[in-house]
Chains A and B, each alone.
Chain A
């Protein structure tokens, strides 16, 4: 059974803080993704990684960076959190052969 876990379910941070969101998958998937979920906007891709140390910008990368030092772990970094980054953040992983993405439980981030 594929398992994708995220470091926190709820997080409250102050404007200007550096924020780390971590995602770990245990199925040896090459692909990992970070999405942002906002009502009425669906799931928007922030960043994507198809291999260790490889990354690609998604549709809304501004204000975010990522790190993938190990295959199973993909981190999303908010260099200087702002209130408009208050959202639900979802991590996902997939094998390039099958395309099905498996999601983590999400982190609800509030920036005050």
Chain B
């Protein structure tokens, strides 16, 4: 079946450094790739997304890149701050196009001050 693999499971960086989280997906028909941030005790919230007709998207300190040929996409956070500490989930739509998402396993990012 369809799946999304996410790496690493944990990531620790110093404040000001960059962080990169990578995901691979199996369904070549996937066309929407969101990233969610979940702070401790809170609900997941969308931070950035990308559609399959775009290779890169930026929003201030965060960016997402998509390589459709290799079926992988990545989240890049620059100049990390302690408030970036959270669990990050990637996801991809599945080919049935019902609005369902397949989520990665999550990455716990710790930014040390």
Binding site for B on A (CB under 8 A): 30-31, 33, 35, 40-45, 48, 50, 56, 58-59, 90, 94-96, 99-101, 103-106
Contact flag A43-B99 (CB < 8 Å), given A90-B44, A104-B43 = no
B45: interface (CB < 8 Å):
yes
Contact flag A103-B44 (CB < 8 Å), given A41-B105, A48-B98 = yes
Q: Could you jot down 12 A-B contacts, CB within 8 Å?
A: A42-B103, A42-B104, A43-B89, A43-B103, A50-B99, A90-B44, A99-B32, A99-B34, A100-B34, A100-B46, A103-B43, A103-B44
Q: How many residues of B contact A (CB 8 A)?
A: 23
For chain B residues 16-52, which have a beta carbon within 8 Å of chain A? 32, 34, 36, 42-46, 49
- The list of the 7 closest CB pairs from A to B, nearest first, reads A43-B103, A103-B43, A42-B105, A31-B99, A42-B103, A99-B32, A96-B99
A59–B89 CA distance with the chains assembled, in angstroms: 17
